[in-house]
Amino acid sequence: MKVSDVRLGVRITLVLLGMRSSNKIDIGASSVDLAYGTSLRLPVKVFRHFHSPYETHFEFLANPRHTMQQLRLSDPS
């Protein structure tokens, strides 16, 4: 798998996670709340693969934050 493919996979995963867990203002719930009746919880082992014992929480969050900042909205036309 190419490095760019891996990054695209991470970006898509983050976008989908954000869509599922974001609160919809008009209905006061997220799509996960509506589907499952509870909020979304991810097991710690999902993040263990990416987490190094030598990095701080800020360093751990830097990559997803950078990825989310690189996303651009597409033209709605």
> Whole-prediction pTM value?
0.34
The answer to whether residues 16 and 68 touch, using CB atoms and an 8 Å cutoff, is no
Q: Which residue has the tokens 């989310």?
A: 68
pLDDT in tens, 44-71: 665 555 556 666 667 767 777 777 777 7
Helix axes 57-70, 3-21, angle to 10 degrees: 90
Q: For the chain, give the mean pLDDT.
A: 70
The answer to whether residues 21 and 39 touch, using CB atoms and an 8 Å cutoff, is yes
Per-residue pLDDT at 1? 43
The answer to whether residues 57 and 77 touch, using CB atoms and an 8 Å cutoff, is no
pLDDT in tens, 24-47: 778 888 777 777 777 767 666 655
